[in-house]
Amino acid sequence: MESDIEESMRKKQRKYPFPGDSTRKNFVQDDDDIQLETTRARFASLLKRHGELTERLSSSNGIFRICSWVHRDSDKMIYERLVKEFEAARASQTEEVSLDGEQWNDGLLATIRERVHMEAERKAMSGDANILECPQEKITYKIGNKVICCLEGARIGIQYETSFAGEPCELYHCVLESKSFLEKMTVLEHTVPFFLPIREAENDLLSSNAMTFIDHVGDLLQAYVDRREQVRLIKELYGNQIAELYHSLPYHMIEFVLDDFDWKVTVSLRYADLVSVLPTRIRVLAWPMHQSKKNTTTLNRKEDGLPGTNPPARLTYAEDALRTMSLPEAYAEIVLNLPHALQQMFNQRTNS
């Protein structure tokens, strides 16, 4: 009898629930169902849009690949042609002059411009035997990492010789021309990577100060190679300790993660401009892991004394090292002192 009454009460409770825990659970369940359906609808819409985009791209993908190949082949052809042209110019030179400091100035650049136009005019008057008999000096100028040659057709060629740690790296070229000695020069062609702003430098500098433009392009290229090679070196030396590494094309934004310690360490570097070789905005954060790899003690919410999360801690000694040293040197300094710094932070948190 009692069991029949209890069963009847349970049926009534299911049919006519009164406000209480079960009602709240039903409301929560309904909210979850609505959110789930919304998520499913959005995901279905995303899949549909992805399919449409894939179909549209598949029709033009062949053209895109062909254009990419043509562009790469064109760049390679320009590079190979300019390398041969510069080699020929240096082979036919009568003198190579090394300059430094104040010897490289606007007056010398004006002399080079005048020389290339005189040579072009001499070639144009090739019917005059007296002019052809006059020997013409062919001088190449070397200034730092730049070699300046007089090329055929009233053109000035600049070859940039980049290096890292005393070892030579890539050659880059920039060819300038002007219709006459009095007209401004323009960039005819170059092999500078597309993500370095040579056209902006041309607009800002070349017409007003060609020497500054030539020097600035050299600084852009050398700084880019420096930053790139620094990243390559830490990957080569410490790749087993670096879990993730991201960078922009010109390597002026770099981020990586050290995940071989009790704490997860993130490093973020930003460079003030593209001619900088040391970062100016630096952030190094140590994120406590939920479970230590080497200690039996766990850094949990209660030990941190914070509700819901373990906040990161800044490693100021690491930021100072990155601000004053090259990336491989700073990395070695950071890793050397990291266990001690992390232990100090761990003790501070457990004692607070």
Domain map of the chain by residue range?
91-226, 239-351
In this prediction, residue 115 carries a pLDDT of: 87
> 92: closest CA among 136, 156, 40?
136
Asked whether the beta carbons of 313 and 285 are under 8 A apart, the reply is yes
Please tell me whether residue 2 adopts helix, strand or coil conformation: helix
Neighbours of 33 (CB within 10 A): 10
In this prediction, residue 62 carries a pLDDT of: 47
Write the DSSP assignment of 45-75 as a string of letters.
Answer: HHHHHHHHHHHHHHHHHHHHHHHHHHHHHHH
Reading the chain (352 residues) residue by residue, the pLDDT tens digits are 545 545 555 554 454 454 454 554 454 455 555 665 666 666 566 666 656 665 554 444 444 444 444 456 678 898 999 999 999 988 888 889 999 878 999 999 999 998 888 887 877 776 554 544 555 678 899 999 999 999 988 899 999 999 999 999 999 999 999 888 778 899 999 999 999 999 999 999 998 999 999 999 999 999 999 999 999 999 999 999 998 999 999 999 999 999 766 788 999 999 999 999 999 999 999 988 754 444 433 333 333 333 345 788 899 999 999 999 999 999 999 999 998 888 888 787 777 6
Asked whether the beta carbons of 201 and 213 are under 8 A apart, the reply is yes
Q: For residues 250 and 246, give the distance between their C-alpha atoms in angstroms, rounded to a whole number.
A: 12
In this prediction, residue 193 carries a pLDDT of: 96
Q: What one-letter code names the amino acid at 257? A: V
Where would I find the beta strands (DSSP E) of 248-336?
253-258, 263-270, 281-288, 313-314
Which CATH code of 3.30.1550.10, 3.20.20.80, 3.40.640.10, 3.30.457.50 fits the domain covering 91-226? Answer: 3.30.457.50
pTM to 2 decimals? Answer: 0.73
Asked whether the beta carbons of 139 and 93 are under 8 A apart, the reply is yes
In this prediction, residue 117 carries a pLDDT of: 86
How many CA atoms, within 13 angstroms, populate the side-chain half-sphere of residue 246? 7
Please tell me whether residue 139 adopts helix, strand or coil conformation: strand
